[in-house]
Structure 1
Amino acid sequence: MPNASIHRALLPIALTGLAIISSATIADEGPGSRIWATGGVTTIEGSAGGGLVPWAMLGGYASDREMGGTLALSRAEVDDYTLGVYGATFNWHNRVELSIARQTLDLDTLVFPLKDGFGLEEDELVQDIFGAKVRLYGDVLYGPYGQWSVGLQHKRSREYVVPEAIGSESDTGTDVYLAASKLFFAAILDRNLLVNATVRGTKANQGGLLGFGGDRHDRYEAMLESSVGLFINRSWLVGMEYRQKPDNLSFAQEDDWWDAYVAWVPDRHLAVTAAWVNLGDIAGLEDQRGFYLSLQGSF
């Protein structure tokens, strides 16, 4: 695949670079001065948000005069698949977030049927994601209309045999999104409520792991995504997420995703997220449900 070796080499180097930058620039000052838990956690695509949905907030705790970042490891296990993700973000002055992630989907020896009646056996699908997010306006805590950000996620499939065989049009695609987030103080039983809405333009199949575009559709579509979270106290957040998906491939229907999560933020350096996820049907295998766990460090 063209440029695959370049992407394979760049991602570990970039992750290491982000870690060095984050540690070196703010090691003496801690992870930043923004209010507790205002950076969210790390999504499965590397940007700051929940587990499935990017939020308007930028990763880490850097204020408008600081730099910071995060490193994260995530794993989701559903009935027939296992998804592993590692990634990092770099936050410049709470204005620009750069992110990078690698997703590996273990297929558990799944055999994909092809049109000629034969099967194609693959161990895993791998995708690299390079993201950028810019805070446009407002503040999630005190802005009357919350915080608004625009972002993009450039994705490249490194294992394209299966996506191409089932009708994908491209191994590369770029999602663009607009996100708005707002915290409502003492909204429910004197607890703070976080609400997020995101509109994503995408052609990605299963987030890009099965390529981009297909034999049914090969155009950008606007997908709605949302999150709600209730702060039980300073350290615990419970909530739900929903993510609408396109349906580009006649090979198999693609369902929307949702989850119910709990996040524990014991201090500014650590966040732990656990969730029950429902990914619907994936590549013809029905009712993919299971557990998700993510560990994030902030620097």
Structure 2
Amino acid sequence: MTPQHPSPRLRTRAASAIALACSTAALLAAPLAHADTGKLVLTGGVSSVEGAAGGGISPWAVIGTQATDGQTGASVHISRAVTRDYGLTATGVAVGLNDRLELSLARQDFNTRATGTALGLPGLHLKQDILGAKLRVAGDAILDSDTLMPQVAVGVQVKHLRSSGLDATLQALGAKRTGVDLYVSATKLFLAPGILVNGTLRATRANQNGLLGFGASLGGADGGYELQPEVSVAWLLRPNLAVGVEVRGMPDKLRRAGAAAGLGDGLRASHWKDVFVAWSPSKNVSLTAAYVDLGPIVPATTNGRRQTGAYVSAQFAF
């Protein structure tokens, strides 16, 4: 089956958007290195693998960077996850405006390792670009810390999976290579005990975060949007040290399509989870390490193994 490729117009628009985001972050970062920003460390979260500020795998309602009201900030991050059969590298930039609006760009590189070889595609890397925007619409995590009012934000993530040797397979399953996630997040910080709780509800069609495309139609599979919950809880042991857990719901849209293709449950998916520790050695630097459990990813080629492993991330924010 001949794979479909994005039109020249789509490629041009995507390249222009990516170049604009990178240029904006670069221009902002230099002057902001000396800005007198006043946000408390770790209260802006860390950079997720999708670029939005929050935990490692889920966005929070907080606006990233060190900028507060009336300020503009920027951040960059690099993250790496290694599981039993796969590896994921994510890099990104973000801009925070007036502690109200966050714009982000992330690029993901998913090394399929033995799975690519089993599919006859040795050295297969799945690469995805994610453009994000998040708007705080109510509350303030710090100023409302002595009330029950959470900080609330709405967000959008536009995802594009680049062309690869897997295009024909995704097309046969009825999965697309471009998708849009919509979400609403509520973050509540209890400052006295140092507890942060976040809940996110995401409307998505993404298979394994979009790394295996979006939706599916083979065998009558449901390719529409689903609402998936995401929950994070963090405990500030010290002002610059936090530990926590995250659980992120993941659609299982490829299971039925995989069964129709003769793979049984070989494409099933399950929720992502992590247990993390985040440390900020200085106001502008945060380091995160985590144990991750991403459930089965293409279990047809990995004997059904759960993808558990380690995650590390470094963020520099101004």
The TM-score with structure 2 as length reference comes to 0.86
Where 1:199 maps in the other structure, the secondary structure is: strand
| Contact map agreement 1:168 1:249 (CA 8 A) in 2 | no
Q: Which of 298, 304, 312 is the equivalent residue of 1:283?
A: 298
Pair 1:272 & 2:277 matched:
no
Where 2:66 maps in the other structure, the secondary structure is: coil
Q: Partner residue of 2:261?
A: none
The gaps in structure 2 that reach 5 residues or longer are 259-266
CA distance in 1, matches of 2:281, 2:166: 42
Pair 1:49 & 2:49 matched:
no
CA distance in 1, matches of 2:286, 2:176: 35
Indicate the larger mover: 98-107 or 211-220: 211-220
CA distance in 1, matches of 2:43, 2:174: 38
Q: Which of 34, 39, 55 is the equivalent residue of 2:39?
A: 34
Q: Which of 69, 77, 90 is the equivalent residue of 1:72?
A: 77
CA distance in 1, matches of 2:118, 2:281: 47
Pair 1:266–1:48, CA change in 2 (3 A) = same
Q: Which of 4, 25, 47 is the equivalent residue of 1:18?
A: 25
| Contact map agreement 2:279 2:287 (CA 8 A) in 1 | yes
The TM-score with structure 1 as length reference comes to 0.91
The C-alpha deviation readout for 1:116-167, integer Å capped at 9, x for no partner, is xxx4445200000000000000011232311000000000000354255141
CA distance in 2, matches of 1:274, 1:78: 14
- Which of the pair is proportionally richer in strand? 1
Shift in Å, 1:13? 5.6
The gaps in structure 1 that reach 5 residues or longer are none
CA distance in 2, matches of 1:181, 1:211: 29
Pair 1:253 & 2:274 matched:
no
Output the amino acid matched with 2:116: V
- Which of the pair is proportionally richer in helix? 2
Where 1:224 maps in the other structure, the secondary structure is: strand
| Contact map agreement 1:43 1:54 (CA 8 A) in 2 | yes
Pair 1:148 & 2:163 matched:
no
Pair 1:82–1:5, CA change in 2 (3 A) = farther
Q: Which of 280, 292, 295 is the equivalent residue of 2:311?
A: 292
CA distance in 2, matches of 1:99, 1:15: 9
Q: What is the total number of aligned residue pairs between the two structures? A: 289
Q: Partner residue of 2:263?
A: none
Q: Which of 201, 204, 213 is the equivalent residue of 1:202?
A: 204
The C-alpha deviation readout for 1:22-61, integer Å capped at 9, x for no partner, is 322x23324x212222110000000000000100001012
Output the amino acid matched with 1:138: G
| Contact map agreement 1:168 1:210 (CA 8 A) in 2 | no
Shift in Å, 1:78? 0.4
Where 1:232 maps in the other structure, the secondary structure is: strand
Identical positions, percent? 38
Shift in Å, 1:8? 5.0
Q: Report runs of 4+ in structure 1 exceeding 6 Å deviation.
A: none
Pair 1:245–1:164, CA change in 2 (3 A) = farther
Shift in Å, 1:169? 2.3
Shift in Å, 1:110? 2.2
Where 1:186 maps in the other structure, the secondary structure is: coil
Where 2:268 maps in the other structure, the secondary structure is: coil
Shift in Å, 1:193? 0.4
CA distance in 2, matches of 1:289, 1:165: 26
| Contact map agreement 1:163 1:210 (CA 8 A) in 2 | no
Q: Partner residue of 1:157?
A: 161
Indicate the larger mover: 177-186 or 193-202: 177-186
Shift in Å, 1:14? 2.8
CA distance in 1, matches of 2:231, 2:222: 24
